[in-house]
Amino acid sequence: MACTIPLSPSSSSCSFLLSHTTIFRFRSPIHLSTSSSRRRLSVSVSASSSSSLQALIFDCDGVILESEHLHRQAYNEAFEHFNVRCSSSASQPLNWDLHFYDQLQNQIGGGKPKMRWYFKEHGWPSSTIFEKPPEDDEGRAKIIDTLQDWKTERYKEIIKSGTVEPRPGVLRLMDEAKAAGKKLAVCSAATKSSVILCLENLIGIERFQGLDCFLAGDDVKEKKPDPSIYLTASKKLGIPEKDCLVVEDSVIGLQAATKAGMSCVITYTSSTADQDFKDAIATYPDLSNIRLKDLELLLQNAVIAN
């Protein structure tokens, strides 16, 4: 089932290498200083700057939890469960391998759009849902809905298993933001039920209920990289886009944030590490050494540079 999805070309933007794995990209000069415990940013900010970090917005999958391998597992189990085969010559049920899924999930947001794209490219499948490949829109919608519903339930079982942990630094940053009086939001392209389950199990009920805004893919008509979800969050929070800072893990999320007029930092995963993040104001392997003050200074510097 090999398929190639073109990825964006590598960026030639200026990068400052702070460690073997941490890269920062800036659009104006800054001074970098290193302490024995962690690397901090020291930015000279104009006192007349009218912008400040008022809202911190997290993506969920890839940012709060490194989830794509879990989604891939659940999709493949759904394909096997319903014996999904994309051609009569297929000897085994459809299986998305790691390399292909990394490309797919970094180009197409949302589970149903992923499957619809795949079946359009490779042919609509036979399955236990329909013995023959569906030929009309109603049948095609049914097979996608059925697969997505089963996959979502399987994914929930994995999350509930207690074996999944939040990514480093996320909970501390959330707590720092709330303690500092910042607005806190989560905006995910995934289905609402799936995101709620992830948040309740990974950040805890109290943090989840304390969010100032929570939006899922069900809440907007267009998925990322369309900016709708972030524009909607800005309105619900009552915070101007320039005072919001988004934390994303992929170029799709980065594009959604920048199209909404928001600055974005990237905390990449193994699946997204090679993507072109030239429009991010900073890029990190994780958030373990990042504090709220670092993000405030980054946003101030980005606003001044623009």
Let me know whether 202 and 186 are in one domain. yes
Let me know whether 61 and 76 are in one domain. no
Decide which of 160, 175, 209 is a domain's last residue.
Answer: 160
Let me know whether 200 and 298 are in one domain. yes
Let me know whether 181 and 260 are in one domain. yes
pLDDT at 40 over 50: no
Decide which of 119, 137, 160 is a domain's last residue.
Answer: 160
CATH number, domain with residue 209: 3.40.50.1000
pLDDT at 80 over 50: yes
Let me know whether 185 and 300 are in one domain. yes
Q: Which residues are catalytic?
A: 59, 61
Give the pLDDT score at 51: 65
Query: Is 271 contained in some domain?
Result: yes
Query: Is 216 contained in some domain?
Result: yes
pLDDT at 35 over 90: no
Which residues are CB-neighbours of 302 under 8 A, at least 6 positions away? 26, 27, 263, 281
Judge residue 14's burial from the number of C-beta atoms within 10 Å of its C-beta, 0-12 exposed, 13-18 middle, 19 or more buried: exposed
Let me know whether 249 and 222 are in one domain. yes
Let me know whether 156 and 235 are in one domain. no
- Phi, psi angle pair for 88, to nearest 5°: -65, -20
Let me know whether 59 and 204 are in one domain. yes
Let me know whether 292 and 274 are in one domain. yes
pLDDT in tens, 196-217: 999 999 999 999 999 999 999 9
Let me know whether 172 and 291 are in one domain. yes
pLDDT in tens, 123-180: 999 999 998 999 999 999 999 999 999 998 999 899 999 889 999 999 999 999 999 9
Identity of the highest mean pLDDT range in 6-20, 59-73, 204-218: 204-218
User: Percent of the chain at pLDDT above 90?
Assistant: 67
Give the pLDDT score at 106: 74
Give the pLDDT score at 19: 36
pLDDT in tens, 210-257: 999 999 999 999 989 999 999 999 999 999 999 999 999 999 999 999
As for how many domains the chain has, the answer is 2
Q: How confident is the model at residue 89 (pLDDT cuts 50, 70, 90)?
A: low
User: Percent of the chain at pLDDT above 70?
Assistant: 82
- Preceding peptide of 225 cis, ω within 30°: yes
Let me know whether 201 and 154 are in one domain. no
Let me know whether 190 and 253 are in one domain. yes
How far does the chain reach from its first CA to its final CA, in angstroms?
Answer: 45
Give the CA dihedral 104, 106, 107, 109, nearest 10 degrees.
Answer: 90
Round the average pLDDT of the chain to a whole number and report it: 84
Strands (E), the chain: 16-17, 23-24, 31-34, 39-42, 55-58, 183-187, 213-215, 244-248, 263-267, 282-284
Instruction: Say which residue, 163 or 281, is predicted with more confidence.
Output: 281
Structural domain boundaries enclosing 280: 55-65+166-305
CATH number, domain with residue 150: 1.10.150.240
pTM above 0.75, yes or no: no
Q: How confident is the model at residue 270 (pLDDT cuts 50, 70, 90)?
A: confident
Give the pLDDT score at 47: 33
Q: How confident is the model at residue 289 (pLDDT cuts 50, 70, 90)?
A: very high
Average pLDDT over residues 258-270: 96
Query: 183 pairs with which residues across the strands?
Result: 55
Decide which of 119, 135, 160 is a domain's last residue.
Answer: 160
Query: Is 9 contained in some domain?
Result: no
Give the pLDDT score at 109: 75
Q: How confident is the model at residue 76 (pLDDT cuts 50, 70, 90)?
A: very high
Query: Is 180 contained in some domain?
Result: yes
CB neighbours (10 Å) of residue 220?
Answer: 19
Average pLDDT over residues 27-31: 34
Give the pLDDT score at 67: 84
DSSP, collapsed to helix, strand or coil, labels residue 138 as helix
pLDDT at 44 over 60: no
Query: Is 18 contained in some domain?
Result: no
pLDDT in tens, 91-134: 899 999 998 998 898 788 788 999 999 999 999 999 999 989 99
Q: How confident is the model at residue 41 (pLDDT cuts 50, 70, 90)?
A: very low
